[in-house]
A = this chain, B = another copy of it.
Amino acid sequence: MSLTTEQAYSDLLSETREAALLESCGAVLGWDEQTYMPVGGAEHRSNQLALLAGLAHEKATAPRVGELLQHLESTRDVPADSVMSANIREIRRDYNRATRLPKSLVEEMSKTTSLSQQAWVSARKNRDFAQFLPWLEKVTRLKREVAQAIGYGQGVPYDALLDEYEPGMTAADVTTLFEALKADLVPLIAQVRDSGRQPRREILTRRYPIPAQQQFSIAAAEAIGFNFQQGRLDVAHHPFCSGFGPGDCRLTTRYNEQHFPGAFFGTLHEAGHGMYEQGLDPALWGSPVGRACSLAIHESQSRMWENLVGRSQSFWKWLYPKARETFPEALGQTPLDEFYFAINDVQPSFIRVEADEATYNLHILLRFDMERPLISGDLAPADVPGMWNELSHKYLGITPPHDSEGCLQDIHWSAGLVGYFPTYSLGNMVASQLFEAAHRDLGDLSSQFARGEFQPLHQWLTTKVHRLGRKYPALELVERVTGEPLSHRPLIRHLQHKLGALYGI
């Protein structure tokens, strides 16, 4: 090849951009499937999505991509610490992962997880783990094969799976962080339990009319900075955020007239994801540096707006008068303090997605403790319910009454998403650490929130995190922005501060 570096790089980016465009078409179809598609459209939709996924995979693994990468890797013209060098590094990573998986394994995984999710829905409904067991066995076997195909250097097979969601992190890194978190978190939650205090929980299950919830949630998402000229909020059974590309990011939530926090904090959470997508550099769209850094960084954004902002006292100093106007029947007679305590209720519970800020992380520790032996072969799928219940008792002090409130509650394993759970708690840690740094840079955030000013924090995140996309690996990004390696301490400090005041501990 007698290509210039510039030309080779430009050719490489058009290849990745075409693959990304195809994936983004699939994202539109996937969003529609979850929001508006009539039931009769399911089979045709799966045919459409399979074709798009196949074409995107074909583009991403084209030999031409490999040739261009080799050409660029052998030249000395690529400036260090540049967008270009980061893009080459990340395209190489994606290319290696994609080309190491045999097509037959990809297809079998896709077919298996599609059927396995159906079996999971039914098993969960029937509280019948035995019905799901053969599928869990098959998915586990295939994920082990995936790990072997991708490789994991000197590490453990689980590393190859974790790396899909959290590039560069290993099970050992996560274990170190999680052990430290556990050591501080478990006693803190015990203190809460032993404090004898608890909020008036029924405040949140009064009547909150759905149209009012919709308006209220949209107004709040807009106030914190989600741009509705470039996005929407719709209803879906399982809430998610999907960034289609520059100028178009879709949020979803679900409403329950008798449960205020679900839709409201769900919307703030998804808006946090959405603001990350909206903050990516549109000029780099279709290349890795124009993409989100990792799932933990993504989750740090959603958690920050949901919890560190949305469940803070100052946020409600600003918004509570409006909440009382919007929901006079439910909140007209309730003082702010009682409402604020209710939305920060800490109490062990069975279902992860309904857990509070503090105990949520114990749900993740439990899953992480099970996924590693499951992939290494030390835990047989048949022994999953027993180990789940044992760990639930150990971490949360409670034992699920049946598997649908235990090991059958999450879709992840049935969908082949093994190695995904840790990113949720990593995201919580990243959120707190970034938030402390923002506090240092921006002065007193609380008084800003109490005035309804979110633009400084939003702007800070856009500049420090969003715009950088995938330029640096997640751990490096956190260290560059905050000046410290990632640690569990800011999360613990945040919880101690908030729960200390509420529970008098």
Q: Is A44 an interface residue (CB 8 A)?
A: yes
- Contact between B38 and A247 (Cβ–Cβ < 8 Å)? yes
- Contact between A41 and B230 (Cβ–Cβ < 8 Å)? yes
A73 shortest CB reach to chain B, Å = 28
Q: Is A460 an interface residue (CB 8 A)?
A: no
A24 — nearest CB in chain B belongs to which residue?
B48
Interface members, chain A 20-51 (any B CB < 8 Å):
21-22, 24-25, 28-29, 32, 36-45, 47-48, 51
- Contact between B38 and A248 (Cβ–Cβ < 8 Å)? yes
- Contact between B37 and A248 (Cβ–Cβ < 8 Å)? yes
- Contact between B39 and A51 (Cβ–Cβ < 8 Å)? no
- Contact between A40 and B232 (Cβ–Cβ < 8 Å)? no
With a CB–CB cut-off of 8 A, which chain B residues contact A231? 38, 40
Which of B24, B28, B41, B246 is A43 in contact with, Cβ under 8 Å? Answer: B246
A39 — nearest CB in chain B belongs to which residue?
B229
Which of B18, B51, B229, B248 is A51 in contact with, Cβ under 8 Å? Answer: B18
With a CB–CB cut-off of 8 A, which chain B residues contact A230? 38-41
A29 — nearest CB in chain B belongs to which residue?
B28
Contacts A28-B29, A28-B32, A36-B232; is A247 near B48 (CB within 8 Å)? no
Contacts A245-B48, A246-B44, A247-B43; is A29 near B38 (CB within 8 Å)? no
Q: Is A99 an interface residue (CB 8 A)?
A: no
With a CB–CB cut-off of 8 A, which chain B residues contact A18? 51
Report how far A254 CA is from B234 CA in the complex, Å. Answer: 20
A60 shortest CB reach to chain B, Å = 14
Contacts A230-B41, A245-B44; is A51 near B25 (CB within 8 Å)? yes
With a CB–CB cut-off of 8 A, which chain B residues contact A28? 28-29, 32, 48
- Contact between B36 and A48 (Cβ–Cβ < 8 Å)? no
A31 — nearest CB in chain B belongs to which residue?
B32
- Contact between A40 and B247 (Cβ–Cβ < 8 Å)? yes
Interface flags for A373-387 (1: CB within 8 Å of B; 0: not) read 000000000000000
Report how far A42 CA is from B245 CA in the complex, Å. Answer: 10
A286 — nearest CB in chain B belongs to which residue?
B47
Report how far A25 CA is from B40 CA in the complex, Å. Answer: 16
Report how far A37 CA is from B37 CA in the complex, Å. Answer: 15
Contacts A18-B51, A52-B25; is A44 near B232 (CB within 8 Å)? no
A44 shortest CB reach to chain B, Å = 4
With a CB–CB cut-off of 8 A, which chain B residues contact A40? 227, 229-231, 246-248
With a CB–CB cut-off of 8 A, which chain B residues contact A149? none
- The count of identical subunits is 2
Report how far A48 CA is from B247 CA in the complex, Å. Answer: 13
Q: Is A450 an interface residue (CB 8 A)?
A: no
A54 — nearest CB in chain B belongs to which residue?
B18
- Contact between A41 and B234 (Cβ–Cβ < 8 Å)? no
Q: Is A133 an interface residue (CB 8 A)?
A: no
With a CB–CB cut-off of 8 A, which chain B residues contact A229? 38-40
A245 — nearest CB in chain B belongs to which residue?
B44
- Contact between B234 and A36 (Cβ–Cβ < 8 Å)? yes
A32 — nearest CB in chain B belongs to which residue?
B28
Q: Is A55 an interface residue (CB 8 A)?
A: yes
Report how far A51 CA is from B55 CA in the complex, Å. Answer: 12
Report how far A248 CA is from B24 CA in the complex, Å. Answer: 21
With a CB–CB cut-off of 8 A, which chain B residues contact A41? 230, 244-245, 247-248
Report how far A29 CA is from B28 CA in the complex, Å. Answer: 7
With a CB–CB cut-off of 8 A, which chain B residues contact A232? 36, 38
- Contact between A21 and B47 (Cβ–Cβ < 8 Å)? yes
Contacts A22-B51, A229-B38; is A44 near B234 (CB within 8 Å)? no
With a CB–CB cut-off of 8 A, which chain B residues contact A42? 247
A131 shortest CB reach to chain B, Å = 19
A278 — nearest CB in chain B belongs to which residue?
B40
Report how far A246 CA is from B41 CA in the complex, Å. Answer: 7
- Contact between B29 and A25 (Cβ–Cβ < 8 Å)? yes
With a CB–CB cut-off of 8 A, which chain B residues contact A44? 24, 244-248, 285
Q: Which 7 residue pairs across A and B have the least CB separation, nearest first?
A: A41-B248, A40-B247, A40-B230, A44-B245, A41-B247, A21-B51, A40-B229
21 A-B pairs whose Cβ atoms sit less than 8 Å apart in the complex: A18-B51, A22-B51, A24-B44, A25-B48, A25-B52, A28-B28, A28-B32, A32-B32, A36-B232, A38-B228, A38-B248, A40-B230, A40-B246, A40-B247, A41-B244, A41-B247, A41-B248, A43-B246, A45-B248, A48-B245, A55-B55
